[in-house]
Amino acid sequence: MHISIHGLFRGTDPEVGTDVDTGGQVRYVLDLIEAMGSHRNIRKVDLLTRKITDARVASDYGVDLEALSPKVSIRRIPCGPSRYMRKELLWPHLSEFTDGALAMIREQGELPDILHAHYADAGLVAVRLSKALGIPVVFTGHSLGRFKLANLMARGMEREKANQTFNLTERIEAEEETIENAALVVASSKNEEREQYRLYDHYERKRIMVNPPGCDLAKFGEKPGKAVNQALQKTLARFLDDPAKPALIMLARPDPQKNILAAIETFAEAGLRDMCNLVLFLGARDDIRELEPAQKKLLQDVLYLIDRYDLYGSVAYPKTNPPEMAAALFHYAARSGGALLGLSRHENFGLTLVEAATAGLPVVTSGAGGMSDILDICKNGIVVDPDNPAETAGRVHELLLDPTRWKQMAESGKAASRANLTWKSHLDRYLGEVREIVRAQVTPEVRITQPKPLSKSTRLLICDIDDTLTGDRDAISRLNRIIAQRDDITFGISTGRNLEGAMETLQSWSVIEPQFLITSVGTEIHTNFGELIPNGRWSRHLQFRWSPQRARDVLGKVPWLRPQEGEAQARFKISYYCEDADATTIANVKTLLRKNGLQARVVVSRNYCVDVLPVRASKGHALRFLAAQWSIDLSNIFTAGDSGNDLDMLRGLVKATVVGNHSGELEMLRDDPNTWFSSRNSAAGILDGLVHYGLIAPTQ
């Protein structure tokens, strides 16, 4: 199962290049799942992406299920507002996507063997699914936040401005967590592995596979049909006085990183502009004035340079370029004796260079990032300095005037790309690794086995204890009566206390006996249908990468962490006191653990308590584990809490109530449509939430 959330995904006529979120990653994922669908050893491939209903985009993106072939489907899941949104705005809504994915998996009735996440947002979702279901995660970053931040700062942007603009703090933490939990990380080039993944605390060379993406031989290796050639010729004839000249081509979305202006500056040199044409396929656009500011400025600069150097009749820049026409462009440029310009400041890989090689078109490249890997494999081009247009123009001129050298590069690119850079070769390498992961994987502990006492129940009510349930005895009595009278409600608690402490507190406050208990901050689950029984599957699930003694040894040297009392400690929970604990505390503890090769979840509550847990442990993960095991729809789960360690059981598709006496850690949920902030404290707030959600009448 692949997960790629942002951008526009559809199987027919994908709109690659429409914006920065619908670029190379979209094409990579679509080509990959299509190739997987043709592989005899793969039974089923699903791609989970965001469902979009927006008049500005095609209605295709609002269809729940799109079958691409008998084995391959795109499944679309709601994630925040229905309109199209850039990826930086989706972070607050990923819990909804996660719960939607859980519901979809439950409806299918089988667990996928692998969750393959593309980009940081999908990585975070895949890790959350893995923590609930025990499925191994494969991660392809495509673009990494630490590297982007370093580049932005090198170009003069302040760190704070970069973080605000691109949500880099949240993105980098998601990448750290994904790399930490992934069974395999796929890098497209040696440069990406060496220069980017090494920047992360959880970098481990043994878990990274360098596996360059493939090229569609049928699309780029074979000559295009007559109809598409005619369409291309008609398009170019609108711009070019002499279409027979050698064509220098560039295919890129309108992004400053692609260095499009450098291509125009190079072409404007007298030696080239008289000899060649320049063809720019810069994605699709309608009205430049309506584009994102960065795209708008770049395209305005493109038009300015064309006018400044009076390149009319020599430069083509069509408004649209369908995928089949883009493929035909490579062959047109090869027939004309031209070259591909790949002058980007950085590329994780540079798939257009492979497509050029497959079509027999030499390349002129900056060699930045993964593009140097392609030249090493294909020997089909030259490396230039795009910041020196005159020198670059001279070297391009020399190449085009040397037919023997040009032909050697063209033939070398064809042969090497077919031998090493096809989707078949990519999948052969990929499946070799994935088979080992699946073979070594412990059978997931989730089983859909609903206890008989739940047969009449359609809803779960889960409440934290301290300051959520406790504090108002009259309200507790009313809540007890409702739970006792309603066969459709199964009542449970979720608490930071251990089992013994939880039961004592419930008894002292005369709370009705719960039918299940999630205790010790989500590290223990007990059912209570006549007999208190621990959930052994959950305990086995939590053993994943848990090294408690090593964690105690490392954190025992931290002066600002003070161990809590013995009764607060548990098999899967290490607890400390810390003055003024906050998000910075979490980051510092996690970084310290990561640098010592340890993986753990860190939770702060009440700005004073710090809990270190297995990576799969939390109240929210335990709740979703039970929901999957009991086949309960998450929209029929009602939760209530008051502090930070309740956060992930309040997010997503569950119907959450935050009681009036909550801590400031939960204010981030204030705009969540599935969260009700009650003005009433403790159990009275829980009752208020049940009224709000229509579960009980106001008079009850």
pLDDT at residue 23 tops 90: no
Q: What is each CA distance from 116 to 434, 456, 598, in whole angstroms? A: 10, 37, 23
Confidence of residue 529 (pLDDT cuts 50, 70, 90): confident
Which tens digits make up the pLDDT trace of 66-121? 999 999 999 999 999 999 999 999 999 999 999 999 999 988 888 999 999 999 99
pLDDT at residue 449 tops 50: no
Question: What's the CATH code, domain 217-421?
Answer: 3.40.50.2000
Average pLDDT over residues 398-425: 95
CATH topology of domain 545-615: Hypothetical Protein Ta0175; Chain: A, domain 2 (3.90.1070)
Quick one: pLDDT at residue 455? 59
Q: What is each CA distance from 614 to 18, 55, 170, 378, in whole angstroms? A: 42, 44, 21, 45
- Report the interhelical angle of 323-336 vs 351-359 (nearest 10°): 60
Break the chain into its structural domains and give their ranges.
Answer: 2-214+430-440, 217-421, 450-544+617-700, 545-615
Average pLDDT over residues 651-656: 95
pLDDT at residue 59 tops 50: yes
CB atoms under 10 Å from CB of 155, counted, come to 10
Which tens digits make up the pLDDT trace of 581-623? 888 898 899 989 988 989 899 988 878 899 999 999 999 999 9
Quick one: pLDDT at residue 323? 80
Quick one: pLDDT at residue 391? 95
pLDDT at residue 450 tops 70: no
Confidence of residue 482 (pLDDT cuts 50, 70, 90): very high
User: Angle at the Cα of 139 (from 138 to 145), degrees rounded to 5?
Assistant: 165
User: Angle at the Cα of 422 (from 148 to 8), degrees rounded to 5?
Assistant: 50
Confidence of residue 448 (pLDDT cuts 50, 70, 90): very low
Alpha carbons 638 and 461: distance in angstroms, whole number: 5
Average pLDDT over residues 238-251: 97
Average pLDDT over residues 532-551: 93
| Cβ-proximal residues to 686 (8 Å cutoff; 6+ apart), any chain | 463, 468, 469, 475, 479, 640, 657, 659, 678
pLDDT at residue 443 tops 70: no
Confidence of residue 328 (pLDDT cuts 50, 70, 90): very high
Quick one: pLDDT at residue 700? 72
Quick one: pLDDT at residue 216? 82
**Does CATH place domain 2-214+430-440 in 3.40.50.720?**
no
Confidence of residue 35 (pLDDT cuts 50, 70, 90): very high
Quick one: pLDDT at residue 454? 65
Average pLDDT over residues 121-131: 96
Q: Which residue has the tokens 């770049």?
A: 298
CATH topology identical between 217-421 and 545-615:
no
Average pLDDT over residues 463-469: 96
Which tens digits make up the pLDDT trace of 672-687? 999 999 999 999 999 9
Percent of the chain at pLDDT above 90? 76
* CA quadruple 224, 227, 228, 230: dihedral sign: positive
Average pLDDT over residues 295-305: 95
Superfamily, domain 450-544+617-700: HAD superfamily/HAD-like (3.40.50.1000)
Average pLDDT over residues 647-653: 93
Quick one: pLDDT at residue 316? 98
